[in-house]
Amino acid sequence: MPNTPHPGSGGQRRRSDVLLRIAMGLFGIGIISVIAIFAVTLITGNAPGVWLYLLAMLTPVGLLLGIFFALWSGRQARK
């Protein structure tokens, strides 16, 4: 039962897990788009579309959300 929350944590634990999943998703999408930028350039020789660059900007957003999650969950564990 590793996925079951602790009895005293209630719904707070589940909400913080959602934040971590969102952070990982945004970071993953950003990294995949950075790889796609290089792949499109190497394969076609043309510049990738602007939408790919915009998706790449999700990488630091996901990283910042992940750092925020780590600090927030550590603070709640101390209480």
Q: For residue range 2-24, what is the model confidence (pLDDT) as tens digits? A: 565 555 555 555 666 899 999 99
Residue owning tokens 């969102």: 22
Can you give the pLDDT at residue 31?
97
- Spatial contact of 13 and 5, defined as CB atoms under 8 Å apart: yes
Interatomic CA distance for residues 8 and 44, integer angstroms:
55
Percentage helix, strand, coil for the chain under 3-state DSSP, each rounded to 5? 75, 0, 25
Can you give the pLDDT at residue 50?
95
Task: Average the pLDDT over 23-51 and give the result.
Answer: 95
Question: What is the overall mean pLDDT for the chain?
Answer: 85
Greatest mean pLDDT among 1-10, 54-63, 68-77 lies in: 54-63
